[in-house]
Amino acid sequence: MCGIVGYIGYREAYPILIKGLKRLEYRGYDSAGIMLYCGDDLAVTKTKGKVSDLEQKSHALAKSKAKIGIGHTRWATHGVPNDVNSHPHVSNSGKIALIHNGIIENYDSIKRELTKRGYVFHSDTDTEVLVNLIEDVKIKENVKLGKAVQIALQKVIGAYAIAVFDLDKPNELVVAKLGSPLAIGIGEDEFFIASDATPFIEFTNNALYLEDGEMAIVRLGREVRVRKIQDDVHVHNPEIQELELNLEQIEKGGYEHFMLKEIFEQPNAVRDTLRGRLQAEQGVVKMSSIDDYLEKFVRADRILIIACGTSWHAGLVAEYLFEDLARIPVEVEYASEFRYRNPVITSRDVVIAISQSGETADTLAAIKLAKERGAFVYGVCNVVGSSIARETHTGAYTHAGPEIGVASTKAFTTQLTVLSLIAAKMARAIGTISQSEFIAFLSALDQVPSKIETVLKTEESIKKIAEVYKDATNFLYLGRGYNFPVALEGALKLKEISYIHAEGYPAAEMKHGPIALIDEHMPVVVIAPKRGHYEKIVSNVQEIKARKGKIIAIVSKGDTDIANLADHVVEIPDIHEALTPMVTTVPLQILSYYIAVMRGCNVDQPRNLAKSVTVE
Ligand code: M6R
């Protein structure tokens, strides 16, 4: 779970690499490093800390006119974050440099073998083992870099996206992929290597995404050659995609943080998700991935949803949606549990995998398992061309645009948009909802963007609430029905960016334990729109009030019952019950954002986290 970047061409490499690393910092940011090819030598600078620390430390490299280089931003797996463990790692001879995203699982046995053969290791990383293994193969087998990388990788168990440079072959970079993403940007007389396309989007729209088990030699003055790692077969005419991503989408656009920008992008992100798919008034949902496989959905015995984190919360909302509208049994599983618990899966199961990044290792492994056992697997992803998008039988993109802030915001609302479209379409096809109910639901969905816009206008009042509770040490989030998953999501947002302990609960479960926590120091966020189990939740609010808890209530506009009991109220516009999570989640995002900012936390890059969890 790291970011890798490389350049080979006619421009100065250093600024391209540094800017590229900054865009990839969402993948990890505990240390960073860079290597430039400066004539006869490799110049390497690495440091614990962020890319900005690397910039401070690499003044000498910044002056270099080098046209070839590689860079890395790390999220530590093997070895603590420090200068030595940072990438690039250089082989014992000083000739080969390598950057790596992934884990070499059998690194220890390889390390022991290499140590016996005289190799010396300076870091605790698996990556330093790999670079020396490549060197060992190169010398022993008397082969060139490309072949050495291939043979070495055949000995390796694990996951990787790597880029390798060798002083003996200074006009090429060798790259390989298994389980971690790797894109090659193809310009005129220049190539870019990166974990995703963001580092090179202002230079070229043409990208080649390596498939698992493929490697490529990227050499100046020649077409990229792709081959299989295991059997030496050449991949003829690898697909070069034309990307639609633009630079503005990945910059902050005047907001202080990506998270805030992404919160405010939600109305348009949801509009983009719906575009071309929804004709509410005509009662039409056009999704070729569903139309082509409608029979599978209609005849399914059950739907199994697999995901992690926020995407799992979207899955929980979908459970309510599918069961409520389409009357089909749904199970929602943490991908990390599913993959290791010998689940019962049949060919009549439809598995829906949800992932913003499309790279989450546990979700990817769970998909593979479900496919092996005969299930039809549908993906809901944001990142186009990602591993999950490619591994699933079919699926729908959320079209949310790049989400850079580690805390998921627009990913959640756009995932719910896609899942709502699918649930409604399926329900109508099965016949569990009438045409008029279908049209009413679609019209409500069409209005979600403007409802979110209304909620965004409450930003200032939420900021004031954040001011009151910024020093709290615990928070409780309560919701019922469709808004129980929103309570979990609200708590996750607060935990991950402000480091305040928070728990989400179904409101009625409170009296089975957590009510003991409530006293005058406990802020309790209650998600209580008028639609749903309103009367029940009013009673829950009274129970909190009776124990002096501080109540922050998310209520429907004009609500008086809860408003009279609560310490603070945020109003949301009225909306179809099944769609309330897309609206109620927004004030919780804003609340956690401002609390984190007021506590001086790094909102976009919270400690210990990374945007894509590409390790298990
Ligand atoms: O890319 P994915 O949707 O598969 O990521 C899953 C989780 O890692 C992710 O949602 C995580 O929980 C977020 N940081 C939460 O804000």
Active site residue 2: yes
For residue 471, count other CB atoms closer than 10 A to its CB: 10
State in Å: Cα 540 to ligand 1 middle. 30
Active site residue 57: no
State in Å: Cα 357 to ligand 1 middle. 8
Determine the atom of ligand 1 nearest the C-alpha atom of 612: 1
Beta carbon of 496 within 6 Å of any ligand 1 atom? yes
pLDDT tens per residue, range 52-86: 999 999 988 999 999 999 999 998 878 888 999 99
Q: How confident is the model at residue 356 (pLDDT cuts 50, 70, 90)?
A: very high
SS3 297: helix
Closest C-alpha to ligand 1, atom 8:
309
Beta carbon of 613 within 6 Å of any ligand 1 atom? yes
Per-residue DSSP letters for 339-371? Answer: TTS-----TTEEEEEEESSS--HHHHHHHHHHH
pLDDT tens per residue, range 322-340: 999 999 999 999 999 998 8
Question: CB–CB of 363/355 below 8 Å?
Answer: yes
Say how far apart CA 29 and CA 49 lie, in whole Å: 7
Structure tokens belonging to residue 569? 């109220």
- Please give the pLDDT value at position 29: 80
- Please give the pLDDT value at position 1: 65
Q: What's the CATH architecture for 3-248?
A: 4-Layer Sandwich (3.60)
Mean pLDDT of 238-261: 84
Q: How confident is the model at residue 116 (pLDDT cuts 50, 70, 90)?
A: very high
Q: Is the pLDDT of residue 203 over 80?
A: yes
- Please give the pLDDT value at position 164: 98
State in Å: Cα 174 to ligand 1 middle. 31
- Please give the pLDDT value at position 117: 94
Which one of 195, 357, 383 would you pick to mutate in the ligand 1 pocket, going by the greatest count of ligand atoms within 8 A of its CB?
357
Beta carbon of 128 within 6 Å of any ligand 1 atom? no
C-alpha to C-alpha distances, 525 to 305, 494, 507, 556, nearest whole angstrom: 27, 11, 10, 14
Closest C-alpha to ligand 1, atom 4:
355
Per-residue DSSP letters for 578-610? Answer: GGHHHHHHHHHHHHHHHHHHHTT--SSS-TT--
Mean pLDDT of 257-272: 95
Which of 142-151, 205-214, 237-246, 518-527 has the weakest average pLDDT?
237-246
- Please give the pLDDT value at position 252: 79
Structure tokens belonging to residue 497? 């960016």
Determine the atom of ligand 1 nearest the C-alpha atom of 388: 4
Sheet-wide strand order for 172-178: 89-90, 96-104, 158-166, 172-178, 214-219, 225-228, 234-235
State in Å: Cα 412 to ligand 1 middle. 9
Say how far apart CA 427 and CA 564 lie, in whole Å: 39
Question: CB–CB of 406/611 below 8 Å?
Answer: yes
Say how far apart CA 401 and CA 530 lie, in whole Å: 32
pLDDT tens per residue, range 120-152: 999 999 999 999 999 999 999 999 999 999 999
Say how far apart CA 227 and CA 447 lie, in whole Å: 49
**How many helices and strands (H and E) does the chain possess?**
23, 27
> Where is pLDDT greater, at 538 or 35?
35
Please give the share of the chain, as a percent, with pLDDT higher than 70: 100
Q: Is the pLDDT of residue 18 over 80?
A: yes
Q: Is the pLDDT of residue 613 over 70?
A: yes
Closest C-alpha to ligand 1, atom 16:
407
Which one of 310, 336, 352 would you pick to mutate in the ligand 1 pocket, going by the greatest count of ligand atoms within 8 A of its CB?
310
Closest CA to 27 of 89, 74, 71: 74
Annotate 78-113 with b (16+ C-beta within 10 A) or e (fewer).
bbebbeebbbbbbbbeebbbbbbbbbbeebeebbee
Closest CA to 20 of 54, 71, 93, 62: 71
Beta carbon of 309 within 6 Å of any ligand 1 atom? yes
> At CA 417, angle to CA 416 and CA 422, rounded to 5?
95
Question: CB–CB of 96/139 below 8 Å?
Answer: no
Beta carbon of 407 within 6 Å of any ligand 1 atom? yes
From-to residues of CATH 3.40.50.10490 in the chain? 258-446, 457-602
Beta carbon of 310 within 6 Å of any ligand 1 atom? yes
Per-residue DSSP letters for 6-41? Answer: EEESSS-HHHHHHHHHHHHGGG--SEEEEEEEETTE
For residue 451, count other CB atoms closer than 10 A to its CB: 22
Helix axes 145-154, 126-141, angle to 10 degrees: 120
Beta carbon of 355 within 6 Å of any ligand 1 atom? yes
> Where is pLDDT greater, at 34 or 237?
34
- Give the position of tokens 């989408």: 249
Amino acid identity, residue 76?
A
State in Å: Cα 612 to ligand 1 middle. 7
pLDDT tens per residue, range 576-605: 999 999 999 999 999 999 999 999 999 998
Q: Is the pLDDT of residue 501 over 70?
A: yes
- What pTM, to 2 d.p., does this model score? 0.78
- Please give the pLDDT value at position 405: 92
Mean pLDDT of 201-226: 94
Which one of 408, 496, 615 would you pick to mutate in the ligand 1 pocket, going by the greatest count of ligand atoms within 8 A of its CB?
408
Determine the atom of ligand 1 nearest the C-alpha atom of 357: 1
Question: CB–CB of 515/539 below 8 Å?
Answer: no
State in Å: Cα 380 to ligand 1 middle. 13
SS3 153: helix
SS3 452: helix
Tell me which CATH code domain 258-446 carries. 3.40.50.10490
Per-residue DSSP letters for 91-123? Answer: -TTS-EEEEEEEEETTHHHHHHHHHHTT----S
For residue 548, count other CB atoms closer than 10 A to its CB: 11
Q: How confident is the model at residue 608 (pLDDT cuts 50, 70, 90)?
A: confident
- CATH classification number, 457-602, choose in 3.40.30.10, 3.40.50.10490, 3.90.420.10, 2.40.170.20: 3.40.50.10490
Structure tokens belonging to residue 142? 């008397």
Beta carbon of 356 within 6 Å of any ligand 1 atom? yes
- Please give the pLDDT value at position 12: 97
State in Å: Cα 161 to ligand 1 middle. 20
Q: Which residue in 2, 46, 177, 308 is the catalytic one?
A: 2
Contact residues for 326 (Cβ-Cβ < 8 A; gap 6+): 423, 426, 427, 430, 432
Beta carbon of 362 within 6 Å of any ligand 1 atom? no
From-to residues of CATH 3.60.20.10 in the chain? 3-248
Determine the atom of ligand 1 nearest the C-alpha atom of 613: 8
pLDDT tens per residue, range 390-440: 899 999 999 898 898 999 999 999 999 999 999 999 999 999 999 999 999
